[in-house]
């Protein structure tokens, strides 16, 4: 598959009359933005023909950037020196490319370095949103997005994708974007820090520097491979029945699948019985906070649950035990927890103690731990530029050992796909146990 880039340009908001609105020029990042991963994330969509012309996609992008100015901006600092999104309308990157093969000849796309050619790289980028549209010989279209995670979480970013498609086909934006990054996350007076946040969402700067110096000291020569596991609706039903046996209500699909994969990955890694292992699960606070944060909110509203066990306990005890650990920790990340975090992060302690976000995009090996990004409830398949919804969606190649990504299968029958990165030495063992029940 040879990809040829034909053009690359900055697309700026197309304001009515060509005049930008008066008002704030810099939007400070919230404490939840700053606690998140300061890195670029890439995703890939594939569409069957017919697809709108590139000019129509570009026009739609220019129109939607009027409503989502942050994605046409740049990161910088405000007048007080706080890190902020500068609403300078410098533009989003728009790349046009072609492929020399039919899309069917390379489907399903696999999580290998080859897919990196289907989206712009975030390395060295100043843009916050970079988009590549690639036309295949058969007329199919692949759209690859690369976005700065510190601007928005998965739901907020996907809302922009949907809005772009809606603007392209002339539909009203749904959900309506909510840009107020100040009102929802104000600290309480007096503050009430009920939970421990040092060593959880924050770590000492010195530890951060030490980790960077020693990153990759071990396993430098080890290859990380990504295996896509498909779990059928039938397999998921059996897993949930086993995990929820004897309980008044079943555990969620997410918690059951994560517990199952946590145990499988722990087995595959061959961890010592006494080794502590945790699974870090992103928890969306929109519906958990009181009052709720609107679905159209454009920033980050994510904190993390961190259930922990010893490797021996996790593997030896039944699936229900692991799911129970996850369920309890996820439930703990509630309104009180979010507000405690906001109060602590706004108290001045982070600056005084030189703490930094524990979410570290430079960490390439997570073993003995696991991190989970669940995209199961994000409506990726609602994206429609006018020629129909995508028939395939995937994250790009991201070889971070232990970074587990879950998403609905493109089959659309209630099944799901899990992208599982492990060292190559551990992958055969994982493949042998990932479909096994207790």
Q: Which helix (H) or strand (E) holds 83?
A: strand 83-86
Say which of 38, 119, 149, 260 is annotated catalytic.
149
Among the listed residues 200, 213, 335, 338, the one whose alpha carbon sits nearest the alpha carbon of residue 280? 200
Say which of 59, 89, 360, 384 is annotated catalytic.
384
**Residues contacting residue 203 through CB under 8 Å, at least 6 positions apart:** 355, 356, 357, 358
Examine the residue annotation and report whether 384 is marked as an active-site residue of this protein.
yes
Distances (CA, A) of 431 to 255, 424, 425: 20, 11, 12
CA angle 59, 61, 63 (to 5 degrees): 70
Among the listed residues 109, 148, 12, 62, the one whose alpha carbon sits nearest the alpha carbon of residue 392? 109
Contact 43, 394 (CB under 8 A): yes
How far is 177 from 159, CA to CA, in rounded Å?
Answer: 8
- Tokens matching residue 149: 């995670």
How far is 167 from 164, CA to CA, in rounded Å?
Answer: 5
Among the listed residues 150, 128, 148, the one whose alpha carbon sits nearest the alpha carbon of residue 36? 150
Among the listed residues 143, 71, 174, 108, the one whose alpha carbon sits nearest the alpha carbon of residue 387? 143
Q: Which helix (H) or strand (E) holds 341?
A: helix 335-345
Name the β-bridge partners of 133.
Answer: 96, 143
Distances (CA, A) of 154 to 91, 137, 165, 174, 377: 21, 31, 17, 16, 10
Among the listed residues 429, 434, 426, 437, the one whose alpha carbon sits nearest the alpha carbon of residue 401? 426
Helix, strand, or coil here: 135? Answer: strand
How far is 240 from 243, CA to CA, in rounded Å?
Answer: 5
Hey, which residues are catalytic here?
Answer: 149, 384
């Amino acid at each position: 598959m040879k990809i040829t880039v034909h053009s690359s340009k900055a697309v700026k908001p197309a304001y009515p009359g060509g005049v930008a609105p008066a008002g704030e020029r810099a939007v400070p990042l919230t404490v939840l933005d700053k606690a998140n991963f300061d890195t670029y994330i890439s995703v890939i969509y594939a569409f069957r023909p017919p697809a709108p012309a590139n000019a129509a996609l570009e026009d739609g992008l220019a129109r939607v950037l009027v409503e989502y100015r942050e994605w046409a901006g740049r990161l910088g600092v405000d007048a007080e020196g706080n890190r902020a999104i500068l609403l300078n309308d410098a533009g989003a990157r728009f790349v046009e490319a072609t492929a020399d093969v039919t899309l069917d000849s390379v489907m399903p796309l696999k999580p290998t370095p080859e897919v990196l050619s289907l989206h712009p790289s975030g390395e060295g980028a100043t843009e916050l949103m970079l988009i590549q549209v690639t036309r295949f010989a058969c007329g199919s279209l692949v759209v690859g997005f690369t976005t700065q995670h510190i601007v928005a979480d998965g739901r907020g970013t996907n809302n922009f994708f949907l809005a772009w498609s809606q603007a392209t086909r002339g539909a009203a934006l749904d959900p309506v974007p909510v840009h107020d990054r100040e009102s929802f996350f104000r600290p309480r007076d007096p503050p009430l820090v009920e939970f421990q946040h040092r060593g959880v969402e924050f770590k000492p700067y010195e530890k951060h520097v030490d980790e960077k110096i020693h990153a990759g000291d071990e396993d430098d020569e080890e290859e990380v491979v990504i295996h896509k596991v498909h779990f059928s609706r039938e397999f998921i039903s059996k897993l949930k029945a086993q995990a929820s046996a004897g309980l008044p209500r079943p555990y969620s699909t997410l918690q059951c699948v994560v517990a199952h994969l946590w145990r499988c990955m722990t087995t595959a890694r061959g961890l010592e019985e006494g080794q502590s292992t945790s699974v870090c699960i992103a928890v969306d606070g929109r519906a958990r906070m009181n009052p709720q944060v609107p679905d159209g909110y454009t920033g980050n509203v994510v904190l993390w649950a961190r259930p922990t066990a010893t490797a021996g306990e996790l593997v030896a005890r039944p699936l229900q035990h692991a799911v129970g650990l996850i369920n309890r920790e996820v439930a703990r990340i509630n309104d009180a927890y979010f507000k405690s975090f906001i109060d602590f992060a706004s108290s001045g302690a982070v600056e005084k103690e030189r703490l930094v976000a524990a979410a570290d995009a430079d960490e390439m090996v997570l073993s003995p731990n696991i991190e989970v990004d669940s995209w199961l409830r994000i409506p990726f398949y609602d994206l429609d530029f006018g020629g129909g919804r995508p028939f395939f969606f995937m994250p790009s190649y991201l070889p971070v050992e232990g970074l587990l990504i879950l998403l609905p299968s493109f089959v659309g029958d209630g099944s799901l796909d899990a992208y599982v990165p492990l060292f190559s030495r551990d992958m055969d063992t994982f493949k042998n146990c990932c479909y096994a029940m207790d």
